[in-house]
Amino acid sequence: MNNRPQLIAYADRLAGSVAGVTALLDGPLAGAFGGVHLLPFFLPFDGVDAGFDPRDHCAVDPRLGTWADVRALAQGRTVVADVIVNHISVQSEQFRDVRAHGEASPWSPMFLTLSSIFPAGATEADLARIYRPRPGLPFTAMTLGDEVRLVWTTFTADQVDLDLRTAESWEYLDSVVDALVAGGVTQLRLDAVGYTGKEPGTNCFMTPATDEYTRRIVQRAHARGATVLVEVHGHHTQQIDIARTVDYVYDFALPPLVLHALTAQDLGPLDHWLQIRPANAMTVLDTHDGIGIVDVGPSALRPGEPGLLTPGQIDALVEAIHANSGGASRLATGVAASNLDLYQVNCTFYDALARDDRRYVLARVIQLFVPGVPQVYYVGLLAGANDMELLARTGVGRDVNRHVYTPAEVTSDLDRPAVRDQLEALRLRAAHPAFDGSFSWVVQATRAWLTWTAGAHRAELSFDVADASYSVTSTDDDGGQVVVLASQPGR
């Protein structure tokens, strides 16, 4: 089945290397996953943005392995890898040449400066309109050749934006796609693609140019036998629109809606989302980033359109996360932490639910029953708590959810009840034929039933968010019904 669950993992933080990830998937995680999103393993994997600032996007960092290791990982499973579309490291060979030679460099057209988009200069209104995920303007003063220029740096001063209007940028992106596909990658995740379409007179986010660039990359991927997953945080209607033109989008609305259901005992917003959400989605509870809030709220990106949650419900949800995490998420979010994102709360999903195993497993099973391809982040799989020591060392808020596991920790955590139950549910989701069929659901007050059927095959989750009781049942090979997982209040 091409909708089997996928693991999301940094090779170094979970298993030490690409080969280590393969060993886990073939060993203690066997049968649970049909694919893996291998978070940036390029050179270097440990840059200022955890690998999303590659110096060489076409090379595997030798500390993690080789392209042969990636191809071995791809045997019998889908490998997802990032095409970092919007930017490249200031330490890349191309940009270092531009810094040395300015406009005389053959790579000069590849990079954006303020004057690239505003050749006649930008007004205050032009600059104030630009959408950015972090405070301040997206420009950094740098010396290029013998001139000081304002270089476009959407995310950090170490990540310089590409000008996708130029042939040089497309030659670069083609080389990245070719290297990934040759290395065994069959699904390309377009990172930060929403920021690529800078156009004067717009907010420079999700513009018509963005749509055109996305189509061009999708065409290139399909010509090489790969599919495309687009990563965009924004108003939920934007995900619905994007889903019509690409292979997969993320269901970033699902995590806060599940948290709202379990903390406010309210299934209404989740019920509404199930009615309108795109089916060609990657479902997640947690990722290497924070828990998205913009994905369920009203947004300046779609003025006048309501969110899936009201501002009051969002405020209550954020405060519930802070309370459940003992205040740790507050220390890791917003102005309290560097590399902040304005639209996310930094917290592990386990801590967001107060380390309550019953509610946590229920959240995971809800995810696994929602249509789409489930992706499970490595920290979430191991029911990880916020890593406050790592946060203290780096000062980067998202590091609370990026723990570096030792082999002993992995072995120990795999034996925890919350982890064993997740793996049981994942193996059901990966193998049971009912999930190739049709999905239906019923919501009655705080109770719900999520059901998959394919002929005589059936799998059902029934649960109550008032007390987090749940039952997972499925048909067996003989057509009988068996209880896969069950929990009652107080257990």
Angle at 214 between CA 208 and CA 215, to 5 degrees: 95
> By C-alpha distance, which of 278, 283, 254 is closest to 373?
283
Nearest-angstrom CA–CA distance, 485 and 476: 14
Phi/psi-derived region of residue 304, left when phi > 0, alpha when psi is between -120 and 50, beta in every other case: left
Q: Is 191 a catalytic residue?
A: yes
Distance CA 368, CA 461 (A): 10
Which is the catalytic residue, given 61, 69, 231, 251?
231
Residue type, 335: V
How many other CB atoms are found less than 10 A from the CB of residue 201? 11
Residue 223: CB atoms within 10 Å: 10
Smallest CA-to-CA distance from 460 within 471, 451, 469, 448 is with 451
Contact 165, 75 (CB under 8 A): no
The question of whether 305 is a catalytic residue gets the answer no
Q: Torsion angle, CA of 410/411/415/416, rounded to 10 degrees?
A: -30
Distance (Å, rounded) from C-alpha 339 to C-alpha 336?
A: 10
> What is the rounded distance in angstroms from the CA atom of residue 153 to the CA atom of residue 161?
6
Burial class (CB in 10 A: 0-12, 13-18, 19+), 339: middle
Give every CB contact of residue 94 below 8 A, 6+ residues apart in sequence.
88, 107, 110, 111, 172
- Token pair 């269901």 in the structure block, residue: 251
Distance of alpha carbon 179 from its chain centroid, rounded?
Answer: 22
Q: Check 12, 69, 191, 387 and give the catalytic one.
A: 191
Question: Among all residues, which ones are annotated catalytic?
Answer: 191, 231
